[in-house]
Structure 1
Amino acid sequence: MAIVKPSSDLQRNISSIYELCRETKEPVYITRNGEINLVVMDAEAFDDRMSLERRILAREMSTYQGIMRGYEDAQAGRLTPLDEVRKEARDDR
Protein backbone atom coordinates (compact mmCIF):
# COMPACT_ATOMS: atom_id res chain seq x y z
CA MET A 1 0.00 0.00 0.00
CA ALA A 2 1.32 3.43 -0.88
CA ILE A 3 2.55 5.66 1.93
CA VAL A 4 1.33 9.22 1.42
CA LYS A 5 2.25 12.18 3.60
CA PRO A 6 1.54 15.90 3.26
CA SER A 7 4.46 18.23 2.56
CA SER A 8 3.90 19.82 5.97
CA ASP A 9 5.06 16.54 7.57
CA LEU A 10 8.25 16.71 5.52
CA GLN A 11 8.82 20.33 6.54
CA ARG A 12 8.00 19.91 10.24
CA ASN A 13 9.19 16.41 11.01
CA ILE A 14 11.66 15.18 8.43
CA SER A 15 13.20 12.72 10.92
CA SER A 16 9.93 10.76 11.03
CA ILE A 17 9.96 10.57 7.22
CA TYR A 18 13.59 9.33 7.34
CA GLU A 19 12.59 6.68 9.87
CA LEU A 20 9.52 5.64 7.88
CA CYS A 21 11.61 5.24 4.72
CA ARG A 22 14.28 3.24 6.53
CA GLU A 23 11.80 0.95 8.30
CA THR A 24 9.45 0.21 5.41
CA LYS A 25 11.95 0.33 2.51
CA GLU A 26 8.98 1.71 0.56
CA PRO A 27 8.66 5.05 -1.23
CA VAL A 28 6.85 7.80 0.64
CA TYR A 29 4.74 10.02 -1.59
CA ILE A 30 4.65 13.65 -0.51
CA THR A 31 1.61 15.71 -1.43
CA ARG A 32 1.16 19.43 -1.82
CA ASN A 33 -2.36 20.81 -2.12
CA GLY A 34 -3.65 17.25 -2.40
CA GLU A 35 -1.45 16.28 -5.36
CA ILE A 36 1.58 14.02 -5.24
CA ASN A 37 4.63 16.13 -6.07
CA LEU A 38 7.59 14.29 -4.56
CA VAL A 39 8.71 10.77 -3.72
CA VAL A 40 11.20 10.09 -0.92
CA MET A 41 12.83 6.70 -0.50
CA ASP A 42 15.57 4.98 1.50
CA ALA A 43 18.77 5.13 -0.59
CA GLU A 44 19.65 1.44 -0.14
CA ALA A 45 16.13 0.34 -1.10
CA PHE A 46 16.27 2.66 -4.12
CA ASP A 47 19.64 1.21 -5.22
CA ASP A 48 18.28 -2.34 -4.82
CA ARG A 49 15.26 -1.52 -6.97
CA MET A 50 17.39 0.14 -9.64
CA SER A 51 19.70 -2.88 -9.70
CA LEU A 52 16.69 -5.15 -10.16
CA GLU A 53 15.38 -2.90 -12.95
CA ARG A 54 18.76 -3.09 -14.74
CA ARG A 55 18.85 -6.90 -14.45
CA ILE A 56 15.29 -7.19 -15.77
CA LEU A 57 16.08 -4.87 -18.67
CA ALA A 58 19.23 -6.86 -19.54
CA ARG A 59 17.25 -10.11 -19.57
CA GLU A 60 14.47 -8.58 -21.67
CA MET A 61 17.01 -7.19 -24.16
CA SER A 62 18.71 -10.59 -24.41
CA THR A 63 15.35 -12.22 -25.14
CA TYR A 64 14.47 -9.54 -27.67
CA GLN A 65 17.81 -9.96 -29.45
CA GLY A 66 17.26 -13.74 -29.66
CA ILE A 67 13.81 -13.21 -31.12
CA MET A 68 15.19 -10.73 -33.65
CA ARG A 69 17.95 -13.19 -34.71
CA GLY A 70 15.26 -15.81 -35.30
CA TYR A 71 13.15 -13.33 -37.24
CA GLU A 72 16.13 -12.32 -39.39
CA ASP A 73 16.93 -15.99 -40.07
CA ALA A 74 13.33 -16.59 -41.11
CA GLN A 75 13.36 -13.52 -43.38
CA ALA A 76 16.62 -14.71 -44.99
CA GLY A 77 15.29 -18.23 -45.50
CA ARG A 78 17.72 -19.82 -43.04
CA LEU A 79 15.19 -22.34 -41.73
CA THR A 80 15.21 -26.07 -41.07
CA PRO A 81 11.94 -27.91 -41.73
CA LEU A 82 10.33 -29.40 -38.61
CA ASP A 83 10.44 -32.96 -40.00
CA GLU A 84 14.22 -32.63 -40.44
CA VAL A 85 14.67 -31.33 -36.90
CA ARG A 86 12.61 -34.22 -35.49
CA LYS A 87 14.60 -36.75 -37.53
CA GLU A 88 17.91 -35.30 -36.26
CA ALA A 89 16.61 -35.40 -32.69
CA ARG A 90 15.65 -39.08 -33.06
CA ASP A 91 19.02 -39.92 -34.65
CA ASP A 92 20.90 -38.25 -31.77
CA ARG A 93 19.36 -40.59 -29.18
Structure 2
Amino acid sequence: MPEIRPIRDLRNTTEISKLCHETGEPVYITKNGYGDMVIMSMDTYERDLAIAQLYRKLAEAETDIAEGRVEDAGAVFDHLRDKYHYGQ
Protein backbone atom coordinates (compact mmCIF):
# COMPACT_ATOMS: atom_id res chain seq x y z
CA MET A 1 0.00 0.00 0.00
CA PRO A 2 1.48 3.39 -0.92
CA GLU A 3 2.69 5.68 1.83
CA ILE A 4 0.95 9.06 1.54
CA ARG A 5 1.94 11.94 3.78
CA PRO A 6 0.97 15.62 3.98
CA ILE A 7 3.65 18.16 3.10
CA ARG A 8 3.93 19.29 6.72
CA ASP A 9 5.52 15.90 7.53
CA LEU A 10 8.58 17.04 5.57
CA ARG A 11 9.56 19.05 8.64
CA ASN A 12 10.78 15.75 10.09
CA THR A 13 13.27 14.82 7.40
CA THR A 14 14.82 12.04 9.46
CA GLU A 15 11.50 10.21 9.74
CA ILE A 16 10.74 10.57 6.03
CA SER A 17 14.25 9.39 5.11
CA LYS A 18 13.94 6.38 7.41
CA LEU A 19 10.54 5.53 5.92
CA CYS A 20 11.92 5.70 2.38
CA HIS A 21 14.84 3.42 3.21
CA GLU A 22 12.90 0.91 5.30
CA THR A 23 10.06 0.39 2.83
CA GLY A 24 12.10 0.61 -0.36
CA GLU A 25 9.09 2.37 -1.87
CA PRO A 26 8.32 5.98 -2.77
CA VAL A 27 6.54 8.26 -0.31
CA TYR A 28 3.81 10.38 -1.88
CA ILE A 29 3.50 13.92 -0.56
CA THR A 30 0.23 15.84 -0.71
CA LYS A 31 -0.38 19.57 -0.55
CA ASN A 32 -3.87 20.82 0.24
CA GLY A 33 -5.17 17.30 -0.25
CA TYR A 34 -3.72 16.84 -3.75
CA GLY A 35 -0.67 14.94 -4.94
CA ASP A 36 2.36 17.22 -5.09
CA MET A 37 5.64 15.27 -4.87
CA VAL A 38 7.17 11.83 -4.61
CA ILE A 39 10.22 11.14 -2.46
CA MET A 40 12.30 7.97 -2.55
CA SER A 41 15.70 6.68 -1.55
CA MET A 42 18.53 6.67 -4.07
CA ASP A 43 18.50 2.85 -4.08
CA THR A 44 14.81 2.80 -4.96
CA TYR A 45 15.31 5.44 -7.65
CA GLU A 46 18.20 3.55 -9.24
CA ARG A 47 16.28 0.25 -9.09
CA ASP A 48 13.19 1.77 -10.70
CA LEU A 49 15.30 3.53 -13.34
CA ALA A 50 17.06 0.26 -14.20
CA ILE A 51 13.72 -1.51 -14.54
CA ALA A 52 12.36 1.26 -16.80
CA GLN A 53 15.48 1.05 -18.99
CA LEU A 54 15.14 -2.72 -19.25
CA TYR A 55 11.50 -2.46 -20.38
CA ARG A 56 12.47 0.22 -22.92
CA LYS A 57 15.16 -2.06 -24.38
CA LEU A 58 12.75 -4.99 -24.51
CA ALA A 59 10.21 -2.85 -26.36
CA GLU A 60 12.89 -1.83 -28.86
CA ALA A 61 13.86 -5.47 -29.37
CA GLU A 62 10.24 -6.48 -29.93
CA THR A 63 9.88 -3.69 -32.50
CA ASP A 64 13.05 -4.85 -34.27
CA ILE A 65 11.69 -8.40 -34.43
CA ALA A 66 8.28 -7.27 -35.67
CA GLU A 67 9.91 -5.16 -38.40
CA GLY A 68 12.30 -7.92 -39.45
CA ARG A 69 15.49 -6.27 -38.21
CA VAL A 70 17.08 -9.52 -37.06
CA GLU A 71 20.26 -11.43 -37.81
CA ASP A 72 21.20 -15.07 -37.45
CA ALA A 73 22.94 -15.49 -34.08
CA GLY A 74 25.39 -18.06 -35.46
CA ALA A 75 26.52 -15.65 -38.18
CA VAL A 76 26.96 -12.83 -35.67
CA PHE A 77 29.10 -15.01 -33.38
CA ASP A 78 31.15 -16.29 -36.33
CA HIS A 79 31.82 -12.67 -37.35
CA LEU A 80 32.89 -11.76 -33.79
CA ARG A 81 35.20 -14.79 -33.58
CA ASP A 82 36.83 -13.82 -36.86
CA LYS A 83 37.09 -10.16 -35.89
CA TYR A 84 38.72 -10.81 -32.53
CA HIS A 85 40.63 -13.98 -33.55
CA TYR A 86 39.00 -15.95 -30.74
CA GLY A 87 40.12 -19.55 -30.49
CA GLN A 88 43.10 -19.18 -32.81
* Range of TM-score over shorter length: 0.7 to 0.9
- Give, in whole Å, the separation in 1 of the partners of 2:35 and 2:26: 12
TM-score (norm 2): 0.74
Structure with the higher fraction of residues in helix conformation: 1
User: 1:4 is matched by which residue type in structure 2?
Assistant: I
Aligned length: 69
The gaps in structure 1 that reach 5 residues or longer are 71-93
Residue number in structure 2 paired with 1:62: 61
- Give, in whole Å, the separation in 1 of the partners of 2:30 and 2:44: 21
User: 1:13 is matched by which residue type in structure 2?
Assistant: N
Matches within 5 A, 1:49-88: 49-69=48-68
- Give, in whole Å, the separation in 1 of the partners of 2:54 and 2:66: 19
User: 2:8 is matched by which residue type in structure 1?
Assistant: S
User: 2:44 is matched by which residue type in structure 1?
Assistant: A
User: 1:52 is matched by which residue type in structure 2?
Assistant: I
Cα deviations across residues 24-73 of structure 1 (Å, max 9, x unaligned)? 01000001100010000011111011011101110111011110128xxx
The gaps in structure 2 that reach 5 residues or longer are 70-88
User: 2:23 is matched by which residue type in structure 1?
Assistant: T
User: 1:61 is matched by which residue type in structure 2?
Assistant: E
RMSD: 1.1
Which structure: larger Rg? 1
Identity of aligned residues (%): 30
Residue number in structure 2 paired with 1:27: 26
- Give, in whole Å, the separation in 1 of the partners of 2:26 and 2:15: 14
